[in-house]
């Protein structure tokens, strides 16, 4: 990812979404640009128009934290966008290094033990590229359509954008895709020289028009909590709350765990999924034929 072009596109897109009214500025006269003018952003940030123009051309090198904070306030950046701006500033002006591939590091045994101890909650560990690196038994059962995709490593974004079965499995696929594109954009800002990440973005951009559109929006996101909705072929519809927990001792890795509200059909469905998961060989991928048989024999939420 070219830092200067990324900075230029990010700042331009954030400026374009703010109306003068939102910024408390008069909207009189003909406006040739969508959103705020450069000089208006400069005024709101307390810098000269010439200096802001230099920043928006992609030159964040040397910008102080105070200037970046003022710019973030002027552009009304949220927490994830502010962090992305800081990441872009951190890598600005550095000598471009050859893109590198990262050797796949095994998950620490203690982390797998932690996952395995979570017997009532689907859980998995992913990296910033959205590769699923480890799961517990219930997590693998929940995500078995993703594991059925022959592409390796198992990757959530690749499944969402390129697998035709994703729309049947993820009932809010558009939302999931937007979140994944924003997470990948966030990761690219933090690690612009990651060859594996660049390869994935290139593959998705080449093969998916939806990804190209979302990528061009330059949205970023911190995916820490929320709801995930599935239509699982074995147990039917599930609405699960998730928590994404960064692992401080394993930089770049996130543990995601899910649960269902007690007394709901999703809670019953999760119990049924646990029964189905108990029949699976943990060393094997879930069998789609077994899922079809299970779905035929039981109602979608039969305990």
Q: Are residues 31 and 154 in the same domain?
A: no
Q: Is residue 151 part of a domain?
A: yes
CA gap 169, 296 in Å, rounded: 17
pLDDT over 90 at 54, yes or no: yes
Provide the CATH number for the domain around residue 134: 3.30.450.180
pLDDT band (50, 70, 90) for residue 2: confident
Question: How much is the average pLDDT of 25-38?
Answer: 80
Predicted confidence (pLDDT) per residue in 67-103, tens digit = 999 999 999 999 999 999 999 999 886 656 655 556 5
Predicted confidence (pLDDT) per residue in 175-208, tens digit = 999 999 999 999 999 998 899 999 999 999 999 9
Q: Are residues 66 and 119 in the same domain?
A: no
pLDDT over 60 at 50, yes or no: yes
Q: Is residue 21 part of a domain?
A: yes
Q: Are residues 254 and 173 in the same domain?
A: yes
How many residues are given for the chain? 303
Helix H or strand E encompassing 134: strand 132-135
Helix H or strand E encompassing 260: none
Q: Report how many domains make up the chain.
A: 2
Q: Is residue 97 part of a domain?
A: no
CA gap 16, 258 in Å, rounded: 37
pTM of the model: 0.87
Closest-CA residue to 45 (of 33, 56, 34, 32): 56
Predicted confidence (pLDDT) per residue in 250-302, tens digit = 999 999 999 999 999 999 999 999 999 988 765 554 443 333 323 332 333 33
Task: Decide: helix, strand or coil at residue 225.
Answer: strand
Q: Are residues 60 and 120 in the same domain?
A: no
Q: Are residues 260 and 138 in the same domain?
A: yes
pLDDT over 90 at 140, yes or no: yes
Which DSSP letter does residue 158 get? H
Q: Are residues 51 and 197 in the same domain?
A: no
Q: Is residue 98 part of a domain?
A: no
Q: Are residues 141 and 203 in the same domain?
A: yes
Q: Are residues 151 and 239 in the same domain?
A: yes
User: Bridge-partner residues for 135, per DSSP?
Assistant: 124
Q: Is residue 102 part of a domain?
A: no
End residue of a domain, out of 61, 91, 121 = 91
Question: How much is the average pLDDT of 115-124?
Answer: 96
Q: Are residues 242 and 135 in the same domain?
A: yes
Q: Is residue 104 part of a domain?
A: no
Report yes or no: 131 and 154 within 8 Å, Cβ to Cβ: yes
Q: Are residues 118 and 219 in the same domain?
A: yes
Range of the domain at 41: 3-91
CA gap 131, 129 in Å, rounded: 6
Question: How much is the average pLDDT of 100-118?
Answer: 84
Query: Which residues, other chains included, contact 24 with Cβ-Cβ below 8 Å and sequence gap of 6+?
Result: none
Provide the CATH number for the domain around residue 53: 1.10.260.40
Predicted confidence (pLDDT) per residue in 213-238, tens digit = 999 999 999 889 999 999 999 999 99
């Amino acid at each position: 990812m070219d830092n200067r072009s990324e900075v230029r596109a990010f700042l331009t897109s954030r400026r374009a979404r703010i109306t003068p009214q939102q910024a408390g500025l008069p909207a009189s006269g003909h406006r040739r640009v969508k959103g705020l003018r450069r000089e208006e952003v400069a005024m709101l940030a307390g810098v000269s128009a010439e200096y802001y123009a230099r920043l928006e051309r992609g030159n964040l090198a040397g910008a102080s934290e105070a200037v970046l904070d003022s710019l973030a306030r002027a552009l009304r950046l949220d927490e994830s966008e502010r962090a992305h701006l800081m990441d872009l500033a951190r890598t600005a002006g550095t000598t471009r290094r050859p893109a590198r591939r990262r050797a796949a590091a095994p998950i620490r045994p203690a982390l797998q033990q932690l996952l395995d101890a979570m017997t009532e909650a689907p859980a998995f560990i992913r990296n910033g590229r959205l590769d699923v690196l480890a799961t517990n038994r219930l997590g693998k059962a929940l995500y078995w359509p993703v594991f059925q995709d022959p592409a390796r490593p198992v990757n959530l974004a690749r499944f969402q954008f390129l697998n035709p079965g994703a729309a049947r499995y993820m009932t809010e696929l558009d939302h999931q895709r937007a979140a994944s594109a924003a997470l990948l954009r966030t990761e690219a800002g933090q690690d612009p020289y990651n060859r594996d990440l660049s390869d994935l973005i290139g593959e998705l951009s080449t093969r998916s028009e939806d990804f190209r559109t979302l990528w061009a929006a330059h949205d970023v996101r911190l995916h820490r909590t929320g709801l995930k909705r599935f239509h699982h072929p074995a147990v039917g519809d599930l609405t699960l709350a998730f928590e994404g927990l960064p692992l401080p001792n394993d930089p770049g890795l996130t543990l995601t765990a899910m649960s269902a509200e007690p007394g709901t059909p999703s809670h019953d469905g999760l119990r049924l999924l646990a029964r189905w998961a108990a029949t699976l060989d943990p060393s094997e991928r879930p069998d789609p034929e077994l899922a079809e048989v299970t779905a035929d024999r039981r109602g979608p939420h039969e305990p």
